[in-house]
Amino acid sequence: MSRSRTRSRAHPPTRSRTRSHTCFPTRDRLRAAIAVAVGLVLTVSLAACGKAAQLGETMSVAGTHRHRSLHIGLLLPENEIVRFERFDRPLIQRRVKELCSRCTVSYSSAQHDPAAQRFQIEAMITNGIDVLILDAVDTKAVRHSVVQAHRAHVPVIAYDRLAEGPISGYVSFDGGGVGRLQGEALLRALGPKARSSQIVMMNGSSTDPNAGWFERGARSVLRGKVKIAKSYETVGWRPENANRNMSAAIAVLGPYGIDGVLAANDGLASGVITALKAARIHPIPPVTGQDAEVAGIQRIVAGEQYMTVYKPFKPEAYTAAEMAIAVGRGQSLSKITKQRVNSASARDIPAVLLEPVAVTVHTIKSTVIKDGLYRVDQICTKKYADDCRKAGLVDRDGSPHDAE
């Protein structure tokens, strides 16, 4: 139903023959009159369709736009940390399909490379993505790309890390709470000797605002209660960098001058513990972690790592999917978000901040096993069989104990 067809029917070619006037229309005049009438109807209909389309864009919540399919882009920072590939990605994809069977998810991993992630964002915008879920490698470096998405009318949901730029919504865990759980656990592990003890802080990367958030939370409970002898930034959150930092701390403080280590996540904890073992420090001082990786849980069972912070990935991933579909359809996030956060470039961003959970050897069954994050047999491999028996995770014959 094109406009060109309307014009041809509404304005037929003129005829040169002279006709007598009559009270009744001739056949040609009747045809012409019908053509004009049809043309007017078509023109009015097209105009009405155009106005309806505009109304649908501005009043999308009330129309069928609410139920339309979406093409969602999912951009995660890496695939070396187990959680992103094993939990975040599949959970987000599953929830999107549950909410919208015709919606699709395109996924890319930046492999720790901010430039690669910027290219991925631009490519997705070019390919007509409707909304982005973005976990930024470098929250500052990605700002220009977020602005580009905004200009292209592609809303961005910041996932786990608060990217700079015009973000439509944000979901993560309370970073201050993560740090406080780590600090409180370390103080409990040190006991009454805490005030005369000195610890090392192995923080995350400065390109991740969560790293500063974790550190501030930890310091808020450690301040005045223990001496922080050394504090490091770990570039790229890489375990090998944590290992180098820890080796440097041991060289300065001595093998027995470190009473505890606040490691910001399980990957850094692995680098720290490897350095402590290489220095033949025994027993290993209490070391914290985060993300409840299976390797971290196994180190806790073996007595090498004191604790980790469990962040239930399902509610975070599901919330991100729900937020993405809502903003993609032009809906308000007011029914999903209850909080507001500020970034360096934006204020009052609708947010959901979830509560983290501390996990020690005594609470493995009541947390990660009970929630179905891991099965007992995934933790209690042959290497950790004896440790699991001591921890009460399996019986003497190797049978797993039920979750509490």
Q: Give the amino acid at 239.
A: P
Max Cα distance, the chain (Å) = 118
Residue 110: C-alpha distances to residues 84, 86, 124, 211 (Å): 12, 16, 13, 19
Residue 180: C-alpha distances to residues 80, 109, 256, 356, 384 (Å): 26, 30, 26, 10, 29
Give the 3-state secondary structure percentages of the chain, helix then strand then coil, rounded to 5.
50, 15, 35
**Distance (Å, whole) CA 224 – CA 218:** 12
> DSSP characters for 143-178?
HHHHHHHHHTT--EEEESS--SSS-SEEEEE-HHHH
The residues facing 274 across adjacent strands are none
Altogether, the residues listed in the chain come to a count of: 404
266 neighbors 308 (Cβ within 8 angstroms): yes
DSSP class of residue 341 equals: E
In this prediction the pTM is: 0.78
| Nearest-10 Cα torsion for 335, 103, 121, 214 | 40
Residue 206: C-alpha distances to residues 117, 220, 284, 378, 387 (Å): 17, 19, 27, 33, 36
**Distance (Å, whole) CA 189 – CA 306:** 8
Tokens of 256: 């027995």
Helix (H/G/I), strand (E/B), else coil: 22: coil
Per-residue pLDDT of the chain (404 residues; tens, 9 = 90+): 433 333 333 343 333 333 333 333 444 443 444 343 434 333 333 333 333 333 333 333 334 456 679 999 999 998 877 789 989 999 999 999 999 999 999 999 999 999 999 999 999 999 999 999 999 999 999 999 999 999 999 999 999 999 999 999 999 999 999 999 999 999 999 999 999 999 999 999 999 999 999 999 999 999 999 999 999 999 999 999 999 999 999 999 999 999 999 999 999 999 999 999 999 999 999 999 999 999 999 999 999 999 999 999 999 999 999 999 999 999 999 999 999 999 999 999 999 999 999 999 999 999 999 999 999 999 999 999 999 999 999 987 667 765 55
Domains of the chain: 68-167+313-354 (3.40.50.2300), 175-310 (3.40.50.2300)
291 neighbors 358 (Cβ within 8 angstroms): no
